[in-house]
Amino acid sequence: MSELFVAKVDDLADRERRIVVEGALEIGVFRLGDEFFAWESNCPHAGGPVCQGRIMNRVNEVLDDEKRAHGYEFVEADVHIICPWHGYEFNIRTGVHPGDAETRLRGFPVTIRDGAVYVTV
Amino acid sequence: MATDDGFKRTYPEIDDWTDSRELLANARKQAEERQLDDVFIVDIDSHISDGGNWPEIMDYVEDPVIREAASAFGDGSKRGAFLNGTNGLQWQNVWGRIPHGQGLKEAVEESELSRETILARRCMDQMGLDYQVMFPNAMLFLGMHPVPEMEVHLATAYNRWLVERVLPEDQRIKAMMYLPFNNPVEAEATVKRFLGKPGVAGFLITSSRHKPVHANEYMRLYGMLEESGQVLGFHTHLNWQNEYTSQLNRFISMHAISFVLCNLVHLTNWIINGLPERFPKLKVMWIESGVAWLPFIMQRLDHEYMMRTSEAPLLKKLPSEYMRDMFYTTQPLERTNETLLAASMEAMSAETQMLFASDWPHWDFDLPATIWDLPFLDEKAKRNILGYNAARIFDLEIPEKYRALAAE
């Protein structure tokens, strides 16, 4: 196991990510508020560079009490990373695809020490 | 990591303008991990550059009035001149989530080469392709153009641009010539004019159109193609204006059905009207409908044919048997259910009848690894689908490094 320096905590803004590379391994490290998450940038669908994709909130469809549809809304609590190859979305906090719990990213532990972010591989 | 041409990755957030060598870096990684550079690979269907080349293509329009009129479009730039594209195409990128779905906007170096060739080389090198057959988005709608003669003007210009400008630049790039199918006489003229030109791999009908393929006016065209040993491809496309598809309120719904519906109709007409019996040596290929539709229509037609043979008197065997004599490209390979996919590919004799296609850079593109990683195919079947079936059907020259393996 080895620990890779990612960034100084203050250099990584909310909803920002850094890609760290160790040999053939590429890892995306994301900041959401004061939390940090690290996922392999290798989409389980087709191997796309998932962590280089857009960060967007999960989309929900709004239904009223009679189950009539009233369009879309973003869900602020659920932040997704979206693979730029084919659009597979993953919850940045859990690494799980919103439509299939079996489809998930490979995660790595993140450590905060002395004002810096490290990922263990 | 740097590519052979010196491109160095910077791992940015990928957007509309990202260099495709960065975007496809994982494709190169996959090729190296699987040693795919030792596998002969042909990509039957790609759509490298769309609107960007259109002003140049307009200079190849032969009618002087139409050529001059092109300047009236795009604020004088000729961009998009005369095209009848639907807004459906603009939804391919899932509202910004798949940037390349809107076409490649990346910068290319100053060069004598066309932008098309530069972008094709970037893709071929990253995916490990030996040949790539290209086709543009813009032409996919032309069969529905409200001005019928415009299909002839634009198709001829596009075919000329490919043959005179692009194909001579790189022998790895091939193209199927667009047939202006709404005008049978002009379609025949297209075959006569472009048959045998370097880089021409066959001829193609865009499937999004309302023309019955069994109409008598097309028999001479099919005869010409059969006699000359050319592949006739049917390339599917969307149609959101159709009476049925217009009820679908999401792109996902329309795309899932529309890209199959037109080929379902044309293939059914093709078989039930006995065209495989009339032109038994004509190589017919169905492009970009995926694989899942095939077992459905095989079973459906066989089931009904057994009860209604009098309506299809030219047939001498089951519809599914004729289907197994035709060819199919693999993309978009539906693979969420491996059991169904394996059964579908077996039903279609995939080892000899299926050909790999990437459809790059569209939003649902496939990679060579998509085929290579299928657990139910043996290595020979994978190699056939990835390249050797294409070499056989299109009579492509297999590079020296693969010949020993091909002879085995």
CATH number, domain with residue B86: 3.20.20.140
Number of domains in chain A: 1
Write down the ipTM of this complex. 0.95
B9 located within any domain: no
| CB contact set of B398 (below 8 Å; sequence gap of 6+) | B40, B387, B388, B391, B406
As given in the structure block, the two tokens for residue B333 are 């390979």
As given in the structure block, the two tokens for residue A118 are 């490290």
How distant is the Cα of B368 from the closest Cα of chain A, in angstroms? 10
Low-confidence residues of chain B, pLDDT below 50?
Answer: none
CA distance B381 to B350: 8
- Token pair 């290319």 is found at B108
Neighbours of B324 (CB within 10 A): 16
Neighbours of B110 (CB within 10 A): 5
CA distance B186 to A91: 54
A72-104 tens-digit pLDDT? 999 999 999 999 999 999 999 999 999 999 999
Give me the residues paired with residue B177 across strands. Answer: B203
CA distance B225 to B229: 6
Q: Under a CB-based contact definition with an 8 Å cutoff, are residues B154 and B60 in contact?
A: no
What pLDDT is attached to residue B101?
Answer: 85
Q: Which of B11, B29, B98 shows the shortest C-beta gap to A86? A: B98
CA distance A1 to A25: 13
Q: Which of B14, B29, B96 shows the shortest C-beta gap to A52? A: B14
- Maximum Cα–Cα distance for chain A, whole Å? 55
Angle between helices B115-127 and B25-33 (to 10 degrees): 40
> Does B252 touch chain A if contact means CB atoms closer than 8 Å?
no
What pLDDT is attached to residue B50?
Answer: 61
Neighbours of B43 (CB within 10 A): 32
B194 located within any domain: yes
Per the structure, the complete domain to which residue B179 belongs is given by 26-407
For residue A8, the Cα-to-chain-centroid distance in whole angstroms is 19
> Does A25 touch chain B if contact means CB atoms closer than 8 Å?
no
- What phi and psi, each to the nearest 5 degrees, are found at residue B405? -70, -40
Q: Under a CB-based contact definition with an 8 Å cutoff, are residues B267 and B294 in contact?
A: no
A29-52 tens-digit pLDDT? 999 999 999 999 999 999 999 999
Burial class (CB in 10 A: 0-12, 13-18, 19+), B404: exposed
What is the domain-level CATH number for residue A58? 2.102.10.10
What pLDDT is attached to residue B85?
Answer: 77
Residues of A in contact with B11 (CB under 8 A): 19, 21, 26, 52
Per the structure, the complete domain to which residue A88 belongs is given by 3-120
- Token pair 């690290």 is found at A38
B172 located within any domain: yes
Residues of A in contact with B369 (CB under 8 A): 46-47
Residue B232 carries which side chain, given as an amino acid letter? L
Q: Under a CB-based contact definition with an 8 Å cutoff, are residues B392 and B383 in contact?
A: no
Number of domains in chain B: 1
What pLDDT is attached to residue B166?
Answer: 93
- What phi and psi, each to the nearest 5 degrees, are found at residue A19? -100, 125
> Does B161 touch chain A if contact means CB atoms closer than 8 Å?
no
Task: Give contacts of A 76-105 with B, CB under 8 A.
Answer: 82, 84-87, 89
B308 located within any domain: yes
